[in-house]
Amino acid sequence: MSPDTTRSTPRPRVLSGMRPTGRLHLGNYMGALYNWVRLQHDYDCYFFIADLHALTTDYADPSRLKQNIFDVAVDFLAAGLNPGKCKVFIQSHVPQHAELHLLFSMFTPLGWLERVPTYKDQQEQLREKDLATYGFLGYPLLQSADILLYKPDFVPVGADQVSHVELTREVARKFNQLYSPKRIVPGTGGPNASLSLQTEPDPDLLLLPEPQVLLTPSPKLPGLDGRKMSKSYGNSIFLSDPDTVVLQKMHGMSNGGQRPTQNDPGNPEICPVGDMHRVFSDPVVDLMIRAGCTTAQIRCDECKFKAGLSINTIIRPIQKRREELATKPDAVWAALETGAKYATAAAEETMKQIRAVTGLSRDLSGIRAEQSPFDRNVADPRNLSRYRDWLGLEPAILSRNLREIWHKEILPIETQLKAESEGVWLTLNKRRVCVAAASQNGSDEAWIFAVKAKSYEVIVLLCWDNSQRIHDFVVPQKLYLAPWVTAKKQAGKNDLVFSVERLNGRYFMHLPHAEPIDITTTEEVYGIL
Ligand code: TRP
Protein backbone atom coordinates (compact mmCIF):
# COMPACT_ATOMS: atom_id res chain seq x y z
CA MET A 1 0.00 0.00 0.00
CA SER A 2 1.29 3.50 -0.72
CA PRO A 3 0.83 6.51 1.51
CA ASP A 4 -2.44 8.32 1.18
CA THR A 5 -1.81 11.25 -1.11
CA THR A 6 -5.40 11.74 -2.20
CA ARG A 7 -6.59 14.21 0.43
CA SER A 8 -7.54 17.56 -0.95
CA THR A 9 -6.69 19.64 2.11
CA PRO A 10 -3.14 18.95 3.13
CA ARG A 11 -2.75 17.67 6.65
CA PRO A 12 -0.16 19.35 8.85
CA ARG A 13 3.18 17.69 8.34
CA VAL A 14 5.13 15.93 11.06
CA LEU A 15 8.71 14.73 10.92
CA SER A 16 10.89 12.87 13.34
CA GLY A 17 13.87 10.55 13.38
CA MET A 18 15.52 8.04 15.64
CA ARG A 19 19.10 6.83 15.80
CA PRO A 20 19.49 3.15 14.97
CA THR A 21 20.68 1.90 18.34
CA GLY A 22 19.52 -1.68 17.64
CA ARG A 23 16.45 -3.33 19.10
CA LEU A 24 14.24 -0.77 20.81
CA HIS A 25 13.48 -0.87 24.50
CA LEU A 26 10.39 0.23 26.36
CA GLY A 27 11.90 3.67 26.89
CA ASN A 28 12.33 4.20 23.15
CA TYR A 29 8.84 2.92 22.59
CA MET A 30 7.10 5.12 25.14
CA GLY A 31 9.36 8.10 24.42
CA ALA A 32 8.73 8.23 20.71
CA LEU A 33 7.33 5.33 18.75
CA TYR A 34 4.10 4.97 20.66
CA ASN A 35 3.38 8.61 19.96
CA TRP A 36 4.38 8.39 16.28
CA VAL A 37 1.99 5.49 15.74
CA ARG A 38 -0.86 7.68 16.97
CA LEU A 39 0.23 10.69 14.93
CA GLN A 40 0.27 8.82 11.63
CA HIS A 41 -3.53 8.81 11.50
CA ASP A 42 -3.99 12.55 11.61
CA TYR A 43 -0.82 14.03 10.14
CA ASP A 44 1.28 13.78 7.02
CA CYS A 45 4.09 11.92 8.73
CA TYR A 46 7.74 11.34 7.83
CA PHE A 47 9.64 9.04 10.20
CA PHE A 48 13.17 7.95 9.55
CA ILE A 49 16.09 5.97 10.92
CA ALA A 50 18.98 8.40 11.36
CA ASP A 51 21.84 6.20 10.23
CA LEU A 52 24.09 9.11 9.30
CA HIS A 53 23.70 10.42 12.81
CA ALA A 54 24.80 7.05 14.14
CA LEU A 55 28.05 7.43 12.22
CA THR A 56 28.84 10.75 13.89
CA THR A 57 29.67 8.80 17.05
CA ASP A 58 30.29 5.28 15.71
CA TYR A 59 32.34 6.07 12.63
CA ALA A 60 35.20 3.95 13.91
CA ASP A 61 33.12 0.78 14.04
CA PRO A 62 30.25 0.59 11.59
CA SER A 63 30.16 -3.22 11.72
CA ARG A 64 26.83 -3.38 13.52
CA LEU A 65 25.18 -0.42 11.82
CA LYS A 66 23.27 -2.27 9.15
CA GLN A 67 21.91 -4.89 11.54
CA ASN A 68 20.91 -2.11 13.94
CA ILE A 69 19.10 -0.28 11.17
CA PHE A 70 17.26 -3.43 10.29
CA ASP A 71 16.31 -4.17 13.90
CA VAL A 72 14.92 -0.69 14.37
CA ALA A 73 13.05 -0.96 11.09
CA VAL A 74 11.41 -4.17 12.25
CA ASP A 75 10.48 -2.54 15.56
CA PHE A 76 9.00 0.47 13.76
CA LEU A 77 6.74 -1.68 11.63
CA ALA A 78 5.92 -4.13 14.43
CA ALA A 79 4.95 -1.30 16.76
CA GLY A 80 2.41 -0.15 14.21
CA LEU A 81 3.98 2.39 11.89
CA ASN A 82 2.07 1.63 8.74
CA PRO A 83 3.91 2.32 5.46
CA GLY A 84 0.50 2.86 3.90
CA LYS A 85 -0.21 5.70 6.30
CA CYS A 86 3.15 7.39 6.78
CA LYS A 87 6.53 7.53 5.12
CA VAL A 88 9.07 5.39 6.93
CA PHE A 89 12.58 5.44 5.54
CA ILE A 90 16.31 5.37 6.14
CA GLN A 91 18.00 8.76 6.25
CA SER A 92 20.96 7.90 4.01
CA HIS A 93 18.65 6.52 1.34
CA VAL A 94 17.58 10.10 0.70
CA PRO A 95 20.91 11.75 -0.14
CA GLN A 96 19.32 15.19 -0.09
CA HIS A 97 19.81 15.13 3.71
CA ALA A 98 23.57 15.17 3.19
CA GLU A 99 23.37 17.75 0.45
CA LEU A 100 21.34 20.20 2.51
CA HIS A 101 23.57 19.67 5.54
CA LEU A 102 26.55 20.73 3.42
CA LEU A 103 24.78 23.85 2.17
CA PHE A 104 23.75 24.81 5.72
CA SER A 105 27.35 24.38 6.84
CA MET A 106 28.33 27.24 4.54
CA PHE A 107 26.61 29.87 6.65
CA THR A 108 26.23 28.35 10.11
CA PRO A 109 28.54 30.04 12.60
CA LEU A 110 30.69 27.64 14.59
CA GLY A 111 29.53 29.31 17.79
CA TRP A 112 25.95 28.20 17.22
CA LEU A 113 27.07 24.58 17.17
CA GLU A 114 29.55 24.84 20.01
CA ARG A 115 26.83 26.31 22.22
CA VAL A 116 24.31 23.49 21.70
CA PRO A 117 24.24 21.89 25.18
CA THR A 118 24.31 18.30 23.93
CA TYR A 119 27.67 18.91 22.23
CA LYS A 120 29.78 19.18 25.38
CA ASP A 121 27.54 16.80 27.39
CA GLN A 122 27.84 13.98 24.91
CA GLN A 123 31.55 14.49 24.45
CA GLU A 124 31.91 14.09 28.22
CA GLN A 125 29.68 11.05 28.37
CA LEU A 126 31.29 9.26 25.46
CA ARG A 127 34.86 9.89 26.55
CA GLU A 128 36.04 6.58 25.13
CA LYS A 129 35.32 7.88 21.61
CA ASP A 130 37.16 10.64 19.81
CA LEU A 131 34.41 13.13 19.19
CA ALA A 132 36.61 16.12 18.46
CA THR A 133 35.40 15.78 14.89
CA TYR A 134 33.77 17.98 12.32
CA GLY A 135 30.88 15.51 11.91
CA PHE A 136 30.08 15.39 15.60
CA LEU A 137 30.05 19.17 15.92
CA GLY A 138 27.68 19.18 12.95
CA TYR A 139 25.32 16.61 14.48
CA PRO A 140 22.54 19.13 15.21
CA LEU A 141 23.06 20.83 11.86
CA LEU A 142 22.48 17.53 10.07
CA GLN A 143 19.34 17.29 12.16
CA SER A 144 18.32 20.77 10.98
CA ALA A 145 18.75 19.57 7.41
CA ASP A 146 16.69 16.43 8.18
CA ILE A 147 13.89 18.62 9.41
CA LEU A 148 13.88 21.59 7.05
CA LEU A 149 14.15 19.38 3.98
CA TYR A 150 10.51 18.42 4.55
CA LYS A 151 9.24 21.77 5.85
CA PRO A 152 7.24 20.09 8.61
CA ASP A 153 4.81 21.94 10.84
CA PHE A 154 5.75 19.86 13.87
CA VAL A 155 8.71 17.88 15.12
CA PRO A 156 7.73 15.43 17.87
CA VAL A 157 10.75 14.93 20.13
CA GLY A 158 11.63 14.45 23.75
CA ALA A 159 12.89 17.26 25.96
CA ASP A 160 16.53 16.32 25.25
CA GLN A 161 16.10 17.32 21.59
CA VAL A 162 14.50 20.72 22.10
CA SER A 163 17.81 22.56 21.72
CA HIS A 164 18.29 20.90 18.33
CA VAL A 165 14.92 22.08 17.09
CA GLU A 166 15.77 25.54 18.41
CA LEU A 167 18.94 25.51 16.33
CA THR A 168 16.87 24.35 13.37
CA ARG A 169 14.65 27.38 13.71
CA GLU A 170 17.67 29.65 13.84
CA VAL A 171 19.13 28.02 10.72
CA ALA A 172 15.80 28.49 8.92
CA ARG A 173 15.74 32.18 9.89
CA LYS A 174 19.25 32.74 8.64
CA PHE A 175 18.57 30.85 5.43
CA ASN A 176 15.45 32.95 4.82
CA GLN A 177 17.33 36.12 5.61
CA LEU A 178 19.92 35.23 3.01
CA TYR A 179 17.86 33.68 0.25
CA SER A 180 14.09 34.15 0.58
CA PRO A 181 12.30 36.69 -1.63
CA LYS A 182 12.39 40.13 -0.01
CA ARG A 183 9.75 42.77 0.50
CA ILE A 184 10.36 46.44 1.11
CA VAL A 185 9.50 47.80 4.53
CA PRO A 186 9.77 51.32 5.91
CA GLY A 187 12.83 51.78 8.06
CA THR A 188 12.23 51.63 11.77
CA GLY A 189 12.97 54.75 13.78
CA GLY A 190 15.76 57.24 13.21
CA PRO A 191 15.30 60.87 12.20
CA ASN A 192 15.02 59.94 8.51
CA ALA A 193 12.83 56.93 9.08
CA SER A 194 10.65 57.61 6.07
CA LEU A 195 13.69 57.70 3.81
CA SER A 196 15.40 54.58 4.98
CA LEU A 197 13.58 51.85 3.14
CA GLN A 198 14.77 48.41 4.10
CA THR A 199 14.09 44.94 2.88
CA GLU A 200 13.18 41.84 4.84
CA PRO A 201 12.14 38.32 3.83
CA ASP A 202 8.53 38.36 2.71
CA PRO A 203 6.68 36.35 5.39
CA ASP A 204 4.37 34.88 2.75
CA LEU A 205 7.23 33.62 0.64
CA LEU A 206 9.59 32.10 3.17
CA LEU A 207 11.54 29.24 1.64
CA LEU A 208 11.98 27.45 4.95
CA PRO A 209 9.19 27.92 7.50
CA GLU A 210 10.23 27.48 11.12
CA PRO A 211 8.89 24.21 12.57
CA GLN A 212 7.43 23.81 16.05
CA VAL A 213 8.48 21.33 18.68
CA LEU A 214 5.76 18.86 19.55
CA LEU A 215 6.97 17.84 22.97
CA THR A 216 6.36 14.13 23.44
CA PRO A 217 4.65 13.63 26.79
CA SER A 218 7.15 11.13 28.10
CA PRO A 219 6.02 9.24 31.17
CA LYS A 220 8.77 8.58 33.63
CA LEU A 221 10.07 5.19 32.58
CA PRO A 222 12.84 3.87 34.77
CA GLY A 223 15.18 1.05 33.88
CA LEU A 224 15.52 -2.10 35.96
CA ASP A 225 17.99 -0.42 38.31
CA GLY A 226 15.84 2.64 38.80
CA ARG A 227 17.98 4.92 36.58
CA LYS A 228 16.69 6.13 33.24
CA MET A 229 16.19 3.19 30.89
CA SER A 230 19.09 3.20 28.49
CA LYS A 231 20.76 0.58 26.37
CA SER A 232 24.19 1.62 27.57
CA TYR A 233 23.20 1.08 31.23
CA GLY A 234 22.15 -2.51 30.54
CA ASN A 235 18.90 -1.88 32.42
CA SER A 236 16.44 -2.25 29.58
CA ILE A 237 13.44 -4.34 28.66
CA PHE A 238 13.29 -4.70 24.90
CA LEU A 239 10.22 -4.80 22.72
CA SER A 240 11.62 -8.08 21.45
CA ASP A 241 12.06 -9.71 24.86
CA PRO A 242 9.99 -12.92 25.22
CA ASP A 243 7.34 -13.08 27.98
CA THR A 244 9.50 -15.15 30.33
CA VAL A 245 12.45 -12.82 29.95
CA VAL A 246 10.27 -9.84 30.79
CA LEU A 247 8.98 -11.59 33.94
CA GLN A 248 12.49 -12.53 34.90
CA LYS A 249 13.84 -9.04 34.36
CA MET A 250 10.94 -7.52 36.30
CA HIS A 251 11.59 -9.95 39.14
CA GLY A 252 14.99 -8.35 39.54
CA MET A 253 13.78 -4.76 39.27
CA SER A 254 14.71 -2.29 41.97
CA ASN A 255 11.94 -1.15 44.32
CA GLY A 256 13.85 1.98 45.12
CA GLY A 257 15.31 0.49 48.27
CA GLN A 258 12.00 0.50 50.13
CA ARG A 259 10.31 -2.09 52.30
CA PRO A 260 13.33 -3.54 54.12
CA THR A 261 10.97 -6.32 55.15
CA GLN A 262 7.84 -7.25 53.29
CA ASN A 263 5.87 -6.31 56.41
CA ASP A 264 6.88 -2.68 55.88
CA PRO A 265 4.51 -0.65 53.71
CA GLY A 266 5.97 1.12 50.66
CA ASN A 267 5.33 4.20 48.53
CA PRO A 268 4.53 3.43 44.87
CA GLU A 269 5.12 7.11 43.99
CA ILE A 270 8.84 6.68 44.53
CA CYS A 271 9.09 3.06 43.37
CA PRO A 272 10.34 2.23 39.84
CA VAL A 273 7.96 -0.74 39.78
CA GLY A 274 5.13 1.67 40.63
CA ASP A 275 6.17 3.76 37.60
CA MET A 276 5.91 0.69 35.41
CA HIS A 277 2.38 0.00 36.67
CA ARG A 278 1.36 3.58 36.01
CA VAL A 279 2.47 3.30 32.40
CA PHE A 280 1.54 -0.26 31.49
CA SER A 281 -1.14 -1.59 33.88
CA ASP A 282 -4.82 -1.03 33.51
CA PRO A 283 -6.26 1.32 36.14
CA VAL A 284 -7.83 -1.46 38.23
CA VAL A 285 -4.54 -3.30 38.63
CA ASP A 286 -2.76 -0.02 39.25
CA LEU A 287 -5.17 0.88 42.05
CA MET A 288 -4.91 -2.58 43.56
CA ILE A 289 -1.15 -2.61 43.83
CA ARG A 290 -1.13 0.92 45.19
CA ALA A 291 -3.50 -0.06 47.95
CA GLY A 292 -1.61 -3.31 48.55
CA CYS A 293 1.81 -1.66 48.67
CA THR A 294 0.93 1.17 51.01
CA THR A 295 -0.64 -1.33 53.44
CA ALA A 296 1.98 -4.06 53.04
CA GLN A 297 -0.80 -6.35 51.81
CA ILE A 298 1.06 -7.25 48.60
CA ARG A 299 4.57 -8.58 48.36
CA CYS A 300 7.07 -6.89 46.01
CA ASP A 301 7.48 -10.19 44.13
CA GLU A 302 3.85 -10.26 43.29
CA CYS A 303 3.70 -6.57 42.41
CA LYS A 304 6.65 -6.97 40.03
CA PHE A 305 5.10 -10.10 38.53
CA LYS A 306 1.88 -8.17 37.87
CA ALA A 307 3.83 -5.32 36.24
CA GLY A 308 5.57 -7.91 34.06
CA LEU A 309 2.21 -9.31 33.00
CA SER A 310 0.99 -5.82 32.13
CA ILE A 311 4.08 -5.15 30.03
CA ASN A 312 3.65 -8.45 28.24
CA THR A 313 0.04 -7.63 27.45
CA ILE A 314 1.17 -4.43 25.77
CA ILE A 315 4.13 -5.83 23.86
CA ARG A 316 2.73 -9.24 22.91
CA PRO A 317 0.95 -8.00 19.73
CA ILE A 318 4.08 -6.10 18.78
CA GLN A 319 6.11 -9.25 19.22
CA LYS A 320 3.76 -11.29 17.12
CA ARG A 321 4.18 -8.85 14.24
CA ARG A 322 7.88 -8.69 14.95
CA GLU A 323 8.29 -12.45 14.64
CA GLU A 324 6.53 -12.40 11.30
CA LEU A 325 8.53 -9.48 9.94
CA ALA A 326 11.90 -10.72 11.12
CA THR A 327 11.52 -13.75 8.86
CA LYS A 328 10.88 -11.51 5.85
CA PRO A 329 13.79 -9.10 5.67
CA ASP A 330 13.10 -8.42 1.99
CA ALA A 331 9.61 -7.16 2.75
CA VAL A 332 10.86 -4.92 5.55
CA TRP A 333 13.54 -3.47 3.29
CA ALA A 334 11.08 -2.99 0.44
CA ALA A 335 8.71 -1.07 2.72
CA LEU A 336 11.53 1.29 3.66
CA GLU A 337 12.59 1.68 0.05
CA THR A 338 9.08 2.71 -0.87
CA GLY A 339 9.16 5.18 2.00
CA ALA A 340 12.47 6.53 0.69
CA LYS A 341 10.93 7.04 -2.73
CA TYR A 342 8.16 9.24 -1.34
CA ALA A 343 10.57 11.04 0.95
CA THR A 344 12.97 11.66 -1.93
CA ALA A 345 10.20 13.23 -3.97
CA ALA A 346 9.35 15.65 -1.15
CA ALA A 347 13.02 16.34 -0.38
CA GLU A 348 13.88 16.95 -4.00
CA GLU A 349 11.09 19.51 -4.27
CA THR A 350 12.71 21.52 -1.51
CA MET A 351 16.22 21.02 -2.88
CA LYS A 352 15.17 22.30 -6.30
CA GLN A 353 14.11 25.57 -4.69
CA ILE A 354 17.23 25.70 -2.57
CA ARG A 355 19.57 24.98 -5.46
CA ALA A 356 17.81 27.67 -7.44
CA VAL A 357 18.43 30.38 -4.84
CA THR A 358 21.99 29.32 -4.09
CA GLY A 359 23.18 29.34 -7.69
CA LEU A 360 23.30 25.56 -8.02
CA SER A 361 20.32 24.88 -10.24
CA ARG A 362 20.78 22.88 -13.43
CA ASP A 363 18.31 25.07 -15.22
CA LEU A 364 19.98 27.18 -17.91
CA SER A 365 17.41 29.97 -17.84
CA GLY A 366 18.98 33.02 -16.32
CA ILE A 367 22.26 32.41 -18.11
CA ARG A 368 22.90 35.22 -20.55
CA ALA A 369 24.44 33.88 -23.71
CA GLU A 370 27.36 35.97 -24.85
CA GLN A 371 26.24 38.15 -27.72
CA SER A 372 27.74 36.95 -30.93
CA PRO A 373 27.49 38.99 -34.13
CA PHE A 374 26.84 35.68 -35.83
CA ASP A 375 23.96 34.00 -34.15
CA ARG A 376 24.36 30.26 -34.50
CA ASN A 377 20.67 29.80 -34.08
CA VAL A 378 19.66 31.27 -37.41
CA ALA A 379 17.22 28.93 -39.06
CA ASP A 380 19.10 28.58 -42.33
CA PRO A 381 22.74 29.57 -41.95
CA ARG A 382 23.50 28.99 -45.64
CA ASN A 383 21.07 31.70 -46.68
CA LEU A 384 23.15 34.89 -46.69
CA SER A 385 20.36 37.33 -47.59
CA ARG A 386 20.95 39.11 -44.31
CA TYR A 387 24.53 39.89 -45.32
CA ARG A 388 23.62 41.16 -48.78
CA ASP A 389 25.26 44.54 -48.20
CA TRP A 390 28.63 42.82 -47.89
CA LEU A 391 28.59 42.16 -51.58
CA GLY A 392 30.05 45.61 -52.19
CA LEU A 393 33.12 44.84 -50.10
CA GLU A 394 36.60 44.33 -51.44
CA PRO A 395 37.13 40.61 -52.30
CA ALA A 396 39.77 40.05 -49.58
CA ILE A 397 37.51 41.51 -46.87
CA LEU A 398 34.43 39.78 -48.18
CA SER A 399 36.39 36.54 -48.14
CA ARG A 400 37.48 37.05 -44.56
CA ASN A 401 33.88 37.80 -43.49
CA LEU A 402 32.59 34.71 -45.23
CA ARG A 403 35.19 32.56 -43.54
CA GLU A 404 34.06 34.00 -40.23
CA ILE A 405 30.42 33.20 -40.90
CA TRP A 406 31.42 29.76 -42.06
CA HIS A 407 33.34 29.09 -38.86
CA LYS A 408 30.68 30.47 -36.51
CA GLU A 409 27.54 29.28 -38.22
CA ILE A 410 28.13 26.64 -40.84
CA LEU A 411 31.02 24.48 -39.68
CA PRO A 412 29.42 21.67 -37.62
CA ILE A 413 29.75 22.61 -33.96
CA GLU A 414 31.41 19.31 -33.06
CA THR A 415 34.21 19.83 -35.60
CA GLN A 416 37.12 21.35 -33.77
CA LEU A 417 39.58 23.41 -35.76
CA LYS A 418 42.41 25.58 -34.58
CA ALA A 419 43.21 28.73 -36.52
CA GLU A 420 46.76 28.55 -37.84
CA SER A 421 47.11 31.58 -40.09
CA GLU A 422 44.86 33.72 -42.25
CA GLY A 423 42.52 31.25 -43.98
CA VAL A 424 44.32 28.17 -42.68
CA TRP A 425 43.13 25.89 -39.88
CA LEU A 426 44.45 22.78 -38.23
CA THR A 427 42.32 19.76 -37.39
CA LEU A 428 42.82 17.96 -34.07
CA ASN A 429 45.16 15.52 -35.81
CA LYS A 430 47.14 18.40 -37.30
CA ARG A 431 45.88 18.30 -40.86
CA ARG A 432 45.99 21.64 -42.66
CA VAL A 433 42.68 22.97 -43.92
CA CYS A 434 42.64 25.88 -46.34
CA VAL A 435 39.41 27.88 -46.39
CA ALA A 436 38.75 30.15 -49.35
CA ALA A 437 35.66 32.19 -50.06
CA ALA A 438 34.28 34.23 -52.93
CA SER A 439 31.06 35.72 -54.19
CA GLN A 440 29.74 35.05 -57.65
CA ASN A 441 31.67 36.84 -60.33
CA GLY A 442 28.97 39.06 -61.89
CA SER A 443 26.45 37.00 -63.83
CA ASP A 444 28.99 34.27 -64.58
CA GLU A 445 28.41 31.16 -62.59
CA ALA A 446 32.02 31.34 -61.47
CA TRP A 447 33.97 32.09 -58.32
CA ILE A 448 37.60 33.21 -58.29
CA PHE A 449 39.88 32.25 -55.41
CA ALA A 450 43.38 33.28 -54.47
CA VAL A 451 45.22 31.38 -51.73
CA LYS A 452 48.81 30.99 -50.56
CA ALA A 453 50.63 28.49 -52.75
CA LYS A 454 51.18 25.83 -50.12
CA SER A 455 50.11 22.26 -49.42
CA TYR A 456 46.80 21.53 -47.76
CA GLU A 457 45.24 18.22 -46.80
CA VAL A 458 41.77 19.71 -47.33
CA ILE A 459 40.50 22.76 -49.13
CA VAL A 460 37.13 24.22 -48.17
CA LEU A 461 35.64 26.34 -50.92
CA LEU A 462 32.86 28.76 -50.03
CA CYS A 463 30.84 29.96 -53.03
CA TRP A 464 28.25 32.70 -52.47
CA ASP A 465 25.82 32.62 -55.36
CA ASN A 466 23.39 35.19 -56.74
CA SER A 467 20.44 33.59 -54.98
CA GLN A 468 22.22 34.48 -51.72
CA ARG A 469 23.11 30.90 -50.85
CA ILE A 470 26.55 29.84 -49.84
CA HIS A 471 27.78 26.48 -51.12
CA ASP A 472 30.52 24.91 -49.08
CA PHE A 473 32.69 22.22 -50.65
CA VAL A 474 35.03 20.21 -48.50
CA VAL A 475 37.58 18.99 -51.02
CA PRO A 476 40.02 16.28 -49.98
CA GLN A 477 43.58 16.38 -51.20
CA LYS A 478 43.28 13.24 -53.28
CA LEU A 479 40.90 15.06 -55.65
CA TYR A 480 43.32 17.84 -56.54
CA LEU A 481 46.83 16.77 -55.53
CA ALA A 482 48.62 16.35 -58.89
CA PRO A 483 47.50 19.61 -60.61
CA TRP A 484 47.94 21.45 -57.32
CA VAL A 485 51.63 20.50 -57.07
CA THR A 486 52.21 21.84 -60.57
CA ALA A 487 50.23 25.04 -60.01
CA LYS A 488 51.97 25.62 -56.70
CA LYS A 489 55.38 25.49 -58.36
CA GLN A 490 54.29 27.92 -61.03
CA ALA A 491 52.81 30.40 -58.56
CA GLY A 492 55.97 30.46 -56.48
CA LYS A 493 55.72 33.39 -54.07
CA ASN A 494 52.47 34.64 -55.61
CA ASP A 495 49.01 33.54 -54.62
CA LEU A 496 47.68 30.49 -56.38
CA VAL A 497 44.62 31.63 -58.31
CA PHE A 498 41.90 29.24 -59.43
CA SER A 499 38.14 29.11 -59.89
CA VAL A 500 35.01 27.12 -59.31
CA GLU A 501 32.41 27.04 -62.06
CA ARG A 502 28.87 25.75 -62.16
CA LEU A 503 27.80 23.85 -65.24
CA ASN A 504 24.45 22.07 -65.57
CA GLY A 505 24.05 22.03 -61.83
CA ARG A 506 27.49 20.51 -61.22
CA TYR A 507 30.47 22.30 -59.69
CA PHE A 508 34.00 22.10 -61.10
CA MET A 509 37.26 23.25 -59.62
CA HIS A 510 39.57 24.71 -62.30
CA LEU A 511 43.26 24.71 -61.57
CA PRO A 512 45.57 26.36 -64.13
CA HIS A 513 46.48 24.11 -67.08
CA ALA A 514 44.50 21.17 -65.70
CA GLU A 515 41.31 19.26 -66.36
CA PRO A 516 38.29 20.52 -64.36
CA ILE A 517 37.71 18.55 -61.15
CA ASP A 518 34.12 17.67 -60.26
CA ILE A 519 33.63 18.63 -56.60
CA THR A 520 29.82 18.49 -56.56
CA THR A 521 29.62 15.56 -54.16
CA THR A 522 31.91 17.18 -51.62
CA GLU A 523 29.34 19.82 -50.72
CA GLU A 524 28.74 19.98 -46.94
CA VAL A 525 30.68 16.76 -46.37
CA TYR A 526 32.52 17.53 -43.11
CA GLY A 527 33.07 13.95 -42.03
CA ILE A 528 36.61 14.07 -43.36
CA LEU A 529 37.63 16.77 -40.91
N1 TRP B 1 18.91 13.45 17.32
C2 TRP B 1 17.69 12.67 17.43
C3 TRP B 1 17.81 11.75 18.64
O4 TRP B 1 18.90 11.41 19.03
C5 TRP B 1 17.43 11.85 16.21
C6 TRP B 1 17.14 12.71 15.04
C7 TRP B 1 17.94 12.88 13.96
C8 TRP B 1 15.97 13.50 14.84
N9 TRP B 1 17.33 13.72 13.08
C10 TRP B 1 16.16 14.13 13.58
C11 TRP B 1 14.83 13.76 15.60
C12 TRP B 1 15.20 15.00 13.08
C13 TRP B 1 13.88 14.63 15.07
C14 TRP B 1 14.07 15.25 13.83
O15 TRP B 1 16.78 11.35 19.13
How far is Cα 509 from Cα 479, in angstroms, rounded to an integer? 10
Question: Ligand 1 in contact with 23 (CB < 6 A)?
Answer: no
Of 119-123, 195-199, 420-424, the one with minimum mean pLDDT is 195-199
| 489-to-91, 271, 451, 458, 492 alpha-carbon distances in Å | 76, 114, 13, 18, 5
- Mutate-to-test residue for ligand 1 from 157, 169, 218, highest number of ligand atoms within 8 A of CB: 157
Question: Ligand 1 in contact with 97 (CB < 6 A)?
Answer: no
- Mutate-to-test residue for ligand 1 from 13, 28, 36, 53, highest number of ligand atoms within 8 A of CB: 53
Question: Ligand 1 in contact with 85 (CB < 6 A)?
Answer: no
Atom of ligand 1 nearest to the CA of 142: 9
Q: Is the pTM of this model over 0.75?
A: no
Instruction: List, in sequence order, the alpha helices (H) in 374-434.
Output: 395-405
* Nearest CA residue ID for atom 11, ligand 1: 17
Q: pLDDT at residue 9 above 60? A: yes
Question: Residue 257: which region, alpha, beta or left (left: phi > 0; alpha: psi -120 to 50)?
Answer: left
CB 89 within 8 A of CB 48: yes
Going from the Cα of 354 to the center of ligand 1, the distance in angstroms, rounded, reads 22
Atom of ligand 1 nearest to the CA of 18: 5
Residue range 224-271, pLDDT digits in tens: 999 999 988 999 999 999 999 999 999 999 999 999 999 999 999 999
CB 116 within 8 A of CB 164: yes
Going from the Cα of 143 to the center of ligand 1, the distance in angstroms, rounded, reads 6
Question: Ligand 1 in contact with 19 (CB < 6 A)?
Answer: yes
* Nearest CA residue ID for atom 3, ligand 1: 18
Atom of ligand 1 nearest to the CA of 50: 7
Q: Which of 209, 293, 213, 290 is nearest to 35 (CA)?
A: 213
* C-alpha dihedral (356, 360, 365, 366), degrees to nearest 10: 90
**pLDDT at residue 195, as a whole number:** 53
* Nearest CA residue ID for atom 9, ligand 1: 143
| 494-to-108, 170, 453 alpha-carbon distances in Å | 71, 78, 7
Domain spanning 13-175+213-222+328-357 has what CATH number? 3.40.50.620
Question: Ligand 1 in contact with 293 (CB < 6 A)?
Answer: no
pLDDT bin (cut points 50, 70, 90) of residue 96 is very high
Going from the Cα of 163 to the center of ligand 1, the distance in angstroms, rounded, reads 11
Going from the Cα of 154 to the center of ligand 1, the distance in angstroms, rounded, reads 13
Residue range 423-459, pLDDT digits in tens: 999 998 899 999 999 999 788 899 999 999 999 999 9
Going from the Cα of 138 to the center of ligand 1, the distance in angstroms, rounded, reads 13
Read off the DSSP letter of residue 24.
-
Going from the Cα of 414 to the center of ligand 1, the distance in angstroms, rounded, reads 51
Residue 119 burial by CB count (10 A; 0-12/13-18/19+): exposed, middle or buried? middle
Highest mean pLDDT pick, 197-211, 386-400, 477-491: 477-491
Q: Which of 312, 158, 305 is nearest to 238 (CA)?
A: 312
* Nearest CA residue ID for atom 5, ligand 1: 18
List of long-range contacts for 157-166, beta carbons under 8 Å, 24+ apart: 157/16, 157/32, 157/213, 157/214, 157/215, 157/216, 158/31, 158/32, 158/215, 158/216, 158/218, 159/215, 159/218, 160/118, 162/213, 162/215, 163/116, 163/117, 163/118, 164/116, 164/118, 164/140, 165/211, 165/213
pLDDT bin (cut points 50, 70, 90) of residue 414 is confident
Domain(s) labelled CATH 3.40.50.620 in the chain stretch across 13-175+213-222+328-357
Maximum distance among all alpha carbons in the chain?
Answer: 134
pLDDT bin (cut points 50, 70, 90) of residue 204 is confident
Atom of ligand 1 nearest to the CA of 32: 15
Question: Ligand 1 in contact with 28 (CB < 6 A)?
Answer: no
Question: Ligand 1 in contact with 213 (CB < 6 A)?
Answer: no
Per cent of the chain over pLDDT 70 is: 94
Question: Ligand 1 in contact with 27 (CB < 6 A)?
Answer: no
β-strands 506-510, 496-503 pairing: antiparallel
CATH class of 231-299: mainly alpha
| 30-to-47, 215, 234, 318, 488 alpha-carbon distances in Å | 16, 13, 18, 13, 96
pLDDT bin (cut points 50, 70, 90) of residue 8 is low
**pLDDT at residue 1, as a whole number:** 46
How many CB atoms neighbour CB 455 within 10 A? 11
**pLDDT at residue 187, as a whole number:** 60
Domain(s) labelled CATH 1.10.240.10 in the chain stretch across 231-299
Question: Ligand 1 in contact with 51 (CB < 6 A)?
Answer: no
Element (H, E) at 205: none
pLDDT bin (cut points 50, 70, 90) of residue 376 is low
**pLDDT at residue 369, as a whole number:** 65
Mean pLDDT for all residues in the chain: 92
Per cent of the chain over pLDDT 90 is: 80
Q: pLDDT at residue 197 above 80? A: no
Going from the Cα of 265 to the center of ligand 1, the distance in angstroms, rounded, reads 42
Chain mean position to CA 515: 67
Question: Ligand 1 in contact with 49 (CB < 6 A)?
Answer: no
Going from the Cα of 50 to the center of ligand 1, the distance in angstroms, rounded, reads 7
Q: Which residues, 6+ apart, have CB-to-CB distance to 282 below 8 Å?
A: 310
Produce one character per residue of 235-273: b if its CB has 16 or more CB atoms within 10 Å, e if not. bbbbbbbeeeebbebbeebbbbebbeeeeeebebeebbb
